[in-house]
């Protein structure tokens, strides 16, 4: 069987089936929803960081833009929720297009500029001067579209598309070329690869999935403030989950989310500062002792990890 | 207008102090210290401790904070950095590593100090000077009042912070250009690989730079309660982004460029506060992005950062 | 070199400045299909800069590069690759985390060659078969040079620029690669070779151009070049003048 079909059958299909069925047997739907959202975001980070090497430290900017794209459509134009989610994705892509000049920056410069960009978008959206459009810092309430069940399944669909995209990258010359650009842009251009086009496509794809996730998140929670949907934790968690599992693989980010977000929920909510301490130490340990992620434990032994 | 300009320069000098340690660390090690703001926050807590426990002028916290964090920096360097440098992509991973460290610092501070805002009465800063003045020249004891510059009154802590910053920047200059270790530091900054090849003890140079970088950050932190009104354990994250804006403005990898970056930043900050206050929050981020894109090497500096 | 063949590459009055330094200062030359042209000259004479401009890494500051009757100065590298120019690097930078096979696959998929050679052929011909599924990071420097060359050949260039391909190879490998380069030229490929090893240059080139300070100071065979006082002056510098 072709590798891509194997990956779709043995990784993507079970993941979708499990998350489609779990709400029937497990009561904490919000938790399941958050898992799906983080699976999308971690794979989105995988697309841009794993395959092209740009660390999106302000990744949440796209998520928040998607959430506000959704909210503005619903508040001002009474758009049906699924359409508003698509608009959320489109808003994130437009933001991504505006930020394409950042791709000229490399390494830490890109990461920092991206972080600054996400904070700029937050302060822009939260500005009281824009209260008429975004409700400024006072938050939005979208009770009209409130439907967590539909939102949940929409999230599963977007997750399936995102993981599908990563399966494609892992099994196509396009994905290889992206990695070639990451490894050495000059050599890649001398292999005939249009490096600017490749980077922009990967960047916009990762923006799109985060925007869709943000729109669905807004649909699901229906009441939120700028600080919620632009919280730096989304960026950090998505990056740490993806890294913990191992980027530039299909399974790494999935394993990362399932394990780390699982731990988070076991120890997380009671005493936030102890949690923050454990989390910080975990991140440090990860970078120092397992910089290539959990999957490197297997690849070091010569096993192939999809 | 004069007020905004003078205040901008005072704040700007202070901002230089805030950023210079971050830049030293990046310049020498290519390490992005995302815990920089948290070191500032800890410096502020040292000042709070000096006032709260000893009840003396918070200026005494300056040498204390510096020494404590030079030591802490050197220790931390040996624990974290050699292992990090051995990995495939140290610059990228450093961002994540030091983010983890900042989480740890913030969490530990919260566990011990709670999340409430803390401040120090600004008249306490500089009491050591007025006490000396009283001893030598007589007069009324008490806190320092506003200081007159160009006919306008400015809070004494702003002026004291600006003067301390000037002194600190001068000392960094002396270190880099007039000591042996400083010369080696500049060699490592310009060509790390060649420095290694010529047998410079890069680890020793880097450890010193890391310690000094953290020490200066802590000194800047001592003044944070006066410059920003109050501090909380969560203050660190914002301080880090602001520091980056300042450093990038000057030129990443050129510590003395930071002095210029700080002043430019301070002036922009005060002018926006005065004339466009509702958009002032956006300033550091927009400035950071615009500078990175238009003048990728900072206002001073080499072209190093284009992909 | 047969005079009736039209040049595939014509470089005229090429200028490239870095700050105030003229790396290329009015360089003109041409190369015809099937010819192997050597570019020689002391360090800093502009050889690698010439290759970088011709392969689109730098835009020229003056003059013209005409490839296959179309002006190509300042056009993006990947487009020049599609038109039929490729090169190797003095210090090869393969895609380290990808396997040798995947390295070549990228060039095959994106190089735009319609009649590209097969991977098996390239692996076999350039002695990379044994390491085909290892990450490029595991290769030694000679193997990395061969991988760099296969990356270029996978795009089926009509003009191939070799920047110090021979440096670091042992004598047996040198003979072997000289034979390969001649065989490529025999298929009609135009090849420009930048090299410090004069023996190697003599063995493979039809003609050399001697560069100094970004200008051509001699054109002809290497055998005549070494008797030219101006060339000796440049290579031996001050010592000869006294």
What are C212's strand-pairing partners? C215
User: Which domains are seen in chain A, by residue range?
Assistant: 3-299 (1.10.3470)
Q: Specify the pairing of strand C190-194 against strand C159-163.
A: parallel
Q: Which residues of A touch C94 (CB under 8 A)?
A: 183-184, 187
Tell which residue, A259, A228, A232, has the closest CA to residue B102.
A232
Q: Is the pLDDT of residue A269 over 70?
A: no
Q: Is the pLDDT of residue C198 over 90?
A: no
Mean pLDDT of B230-237: 79
Q: How are the residues of chain C apportioned to helix, strand and coil, as percentages rounded to the nearest 5? A: 40, 25, 35
Q: Which residues of B touch A282 (CB under 8 A)?
A: 100
Which pLDDT tens digit goes with each residue over B91-140?
Answer: 888 888 998 999 899 889 988 887 777 777 776 776 666 666 666 665 55
Binary contact (C106, A193; C-beta < 8 A)? yes
Binary contact (C78, A184; C-beta < 8 A)? no
More confident residue, B225 or C124: C124
Chain B nearest C-alpha distance from A106 (Å)? 5
Give the chains touching B; criterion: ≥3 Cβ pairs < 8 Å. A
pLDDT at B252: 67
Element (H, E) at C18: strand C9-18
Q: Is the pLDDT of residue C191 over 90?
A: yes
Mean pLDDT of B64-70: 94
Rank A96-110, B53-67, B154-168, B210-224 by mean pLDDT and report only the highest. Answer: B210-224
Sign of the CA dihedral running B213, B168, B237, A110: negative
The four Cα atoms B287, B293, B297, B303 give a dihedral, to 10 degrees, of: 170
Q: Which residues of A touch C155 (CB under 8 A)?
A: 191-192
Mean pLDDT of chain A: 92
| pTM of the shown model | 0.87
Task: Give the CA distances from residue A272 to residues A126, A264, A289, in Å, rounded to whole numbers and listed in that order.
Answer: 25, 10, 25
Question: Which residue of chain C comes nearest to A198, CA vs CA?
Answer: C110
Q: Does A244 touch chain B (CB under 8 A)?
A: no
Does domain C76-222 fall into CATH 3.40.50.261?
no
Rank A260-269, C151-160, C193-202, C209-218 by mean pLDDT and report only the highest. Answer: C151-160
Q: Is the pLDDT of residue B143 over 70?
A: no
Helix (H, G, I), strand (E, B) or coil at A142: coil
Share of chain A above pLDDT 90, in %: 70
Question: Which residue of chain A comes nearest to B283, CA vs CA?
Answer: A120
Q: Where are the domains of chain B?
A: 2-113+126-136+153-294
Mean pLDDT of A139-157: 94
Q: Which residues of B touch A240 (CB under 8 A)?
A: 96
Share of chain B above pLDDT 90, in %: 22
Q: Does A106 touch chain B (CB under 8 A)?
A: yes
pLDDT at C118: 92
In angstroms, the CA B205 to CA B27 distance is: 12
In angstroms, the CA A247 to CA A306 distance is: 11
Task: Give the CA distances from residue A9 to residues A12, A36, A152, A248, B222, in Å, rounded to whole numbers and listed in that order.
Answer: 6, 19, 22, 19, 59
Q: Report whether B165 contacts B17 (CB < 8 A).
A: yes
- SS3 string of A24-37? HHCCCHHHHHHHHH
pLDDT at A158: 98
Which stretch of A38-47, A52-61, A122-131 has the lowest confidence by average pLDDT?
A: A122-131
Cα B212 to chain centroid distance, Å, stands at 11
Mean pLDDT of A75-94: 97
Mean pLDDT of C170-179: 93
Mean pLDDT of A215-229: 96
Contacts of A119 (CB under 8 A, 6+ apart): A58, A230, B241, B285
Binary contact (B252, A129; C-beta < 8 A)? no
Mean pLDDT of A150-168: 97
What are C27's strand-pairing partners? C14
Q: Which residues of B touch A108 (CB under 8 A)?
A: 26, 30, 32, 91-92, 94-95, 252
Tokens 């396997």 appear where?
C99
Here the tokens at position B306 are: 């284009």
Question: Which residue of chain B comes nearest to A238, CA vs CA?
Answer: B96
Which pLDDT tens digit goes with each residue over A21-47?
Answer: 999 999 899 999 999 999 999 999 999
Which pLDDT tens digit goes with each residue over B269-291?
Answer: 888 878 777 777 787 788 888 87
Q: Is the pLDDT of residue C82 over 90?
A: yes
Q: Which residues of C touch A192 (CB under 8 A)?
A: 78, 81-82, 107, 110-112, 155
Q: Where are the domains of chain C?
A: 76-222
Per CB distance under 8 Å, which residues of C are interface residues toward A? 55-57, 76-78, 81-82, 86-87, 89, 92-98, 102-103, 105-107, 109-112, 148, 151-152, 154-155
Binary contact (B289, A279; C-beta < 8 A)? no
């Amino acid at each position: 069987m072709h590798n891509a079909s194997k990956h779709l059958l043995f990784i993507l299909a079970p993941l979708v089936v499990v998350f489609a069925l779990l709400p029937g047997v497990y009561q904490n739907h919000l938790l399941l929803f958050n898992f799906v959202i983080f699976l999308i975001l971690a794979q989105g980070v995988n697309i841009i960081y794993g395959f092209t090497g740009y660390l999106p430290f302000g990744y949440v900017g796209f998520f928040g833009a998607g959430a506000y794209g959704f909210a503005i459509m619903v508040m001002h134009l009474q758009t049906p929720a699924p359409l508003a989610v698509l608009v959320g994705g489109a808003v994130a892509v437009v933001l991504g297009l505006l930020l394409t000049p950042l791709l000229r920056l490399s390494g830490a410069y890109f990461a920092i500029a991206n972080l600054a960009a996400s904070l700029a978008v937050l302060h822009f959206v939260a500005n009281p001067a824009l209260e008429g459009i975004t409700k400024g810092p006072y938050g939005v309430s979208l009770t009209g579209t409130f439907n967590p069940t539909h939102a949940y399944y929409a999230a599963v669909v977007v997750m399936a598309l995102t993981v599908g995209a990563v399966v494609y990258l892992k099994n196509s010359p396009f994905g290889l070329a992206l990695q070639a650009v990451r490894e050495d842009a000059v050599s890649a251009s001398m292999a005939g690869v249009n490096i600017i086009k490749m980077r922009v496509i990967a960047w916009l794809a990762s923006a799109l999935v985060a925007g869709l996730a943000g729109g669905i998140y807004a649909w699901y929670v229906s009441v939120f403030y700028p600080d919620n949907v632009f919280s730096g934790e989304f960026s950090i968690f998505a990056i740490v989950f993806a890294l913990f599992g191992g980027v530039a693989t299909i399974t790494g980010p999935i394993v990362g989310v399932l394990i780390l977000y699982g731990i988070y929920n076991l120890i997380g909510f009671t005493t936030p500062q102890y949690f923050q301490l454990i989390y910080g130490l975990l991140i440090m340990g990860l970078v120092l002792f397992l910089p290539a992620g959990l999957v490197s434990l297997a690849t070091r032994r010569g096993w192939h990890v999809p | 207008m004069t007020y905004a300009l003078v205040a901008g320069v005072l704040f700007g000098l202070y901002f230089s102090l805030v950023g210079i340690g971050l830049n030293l660390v990046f310049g020498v090690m290519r390490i992005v210290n995302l815990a920089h703001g948290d070191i500032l926050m800890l410096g502020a807590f040292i000042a709070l401790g000096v006032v709260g426990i000893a009840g003396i002028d918070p200026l005494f916290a300056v040498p204390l904070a510096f020494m404590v964090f030079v030591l802490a920096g050197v220790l931390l360097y040996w624990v974290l950095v050699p292992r990090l440098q051995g990995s495939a992509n140290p610059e990228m991973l450093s961002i994540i590593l030091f983010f983890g460290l900042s989480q740890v610092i913030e969490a530990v501070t919260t566990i011990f100090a709670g999340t409430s805002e803390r401040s120090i009465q600004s008249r306490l800063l500089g009491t050591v000077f007025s006490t000396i003045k009283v001893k030598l020249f007589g007069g009324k004891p008490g806190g320092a009042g506003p200081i007159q510059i160009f006919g306008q009154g400015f809070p004494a802590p702003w002026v004291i912070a600006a003067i301390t910053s000037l002194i600190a920047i001068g000392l960094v200059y002396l270190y880099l250009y007039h000591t042996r270790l400083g010369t080696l530091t500049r060699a490592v900054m310009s060509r790390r690989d060649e420095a290694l090849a010529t047998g410079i003890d890069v680890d020793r140079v880097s450890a010193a730079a890391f310690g000094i970088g953290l020490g200066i950050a802590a000194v800047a932190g001592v003044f944070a309660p006066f410059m920003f009104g109050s501090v909380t354990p969560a203050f660190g994250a914002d301080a880090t982004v602001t520091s980056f804006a300042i450093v990038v403005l000057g030129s990443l990898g050129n510590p003395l460029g930071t002095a210029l970056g700080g002043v430019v930043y301070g002036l922009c900050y005060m002018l926006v506060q005065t004339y466009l206050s509702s958009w002032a929050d956006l300033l550091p981020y927009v400035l950071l992005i615009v500078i990175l894109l238009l003048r990728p090497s900072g206002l001073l500096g080499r072209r190093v950062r284009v992909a | 070199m047969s005079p009736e063949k039209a040049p595939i590459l014509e470089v005229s009055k090429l200028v490239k400045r870095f700050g105030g330094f003229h790396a290329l200062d009015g360089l003109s030359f041409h190369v015809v299909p099937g010819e192997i042209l050597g570019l020689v000259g002391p360090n800093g004479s502009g050889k690698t800069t010439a290759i970088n401009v011709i392969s689109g890494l730098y835009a020229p500051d003056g003059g013209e590069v005409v490839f296959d009757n179309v002006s190509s100065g300042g056009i993006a590298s990947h487009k020049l690759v599609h038109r039929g120019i490729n090169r190797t690097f003095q210090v090869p930078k393969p895609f380290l985390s990808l396997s040798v096979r995947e390295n070549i696959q990228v060039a095959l998929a994106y190089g735009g060659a319609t009649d590209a050679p097969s991977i098996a052929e390239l692996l076999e011909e350039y002695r990379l078969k044994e390491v085909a599924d290892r990450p490029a990071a595991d290769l030694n420097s000679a193997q990395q040079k061969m991988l760099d060359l296969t990356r270029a050949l996978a795009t089926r260039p009509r003009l191939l620029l070799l920047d110090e391909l021979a440096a670091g190879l042992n004598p047996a490998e040198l003979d072997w690669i000289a034979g390969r380069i001649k065989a490529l030229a025999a298929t009609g490929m135009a090849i420009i070779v930048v090299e410090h090893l004069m023996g190697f240059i003599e063995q493979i080139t039809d003609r050399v151009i001697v560069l100094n300070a970004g200008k051509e100071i001699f054109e002809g065979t290497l055998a005549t070049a070494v008797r030219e006082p101006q060339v000796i002056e440049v290579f031996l510098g001050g010592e000869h003048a006294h």
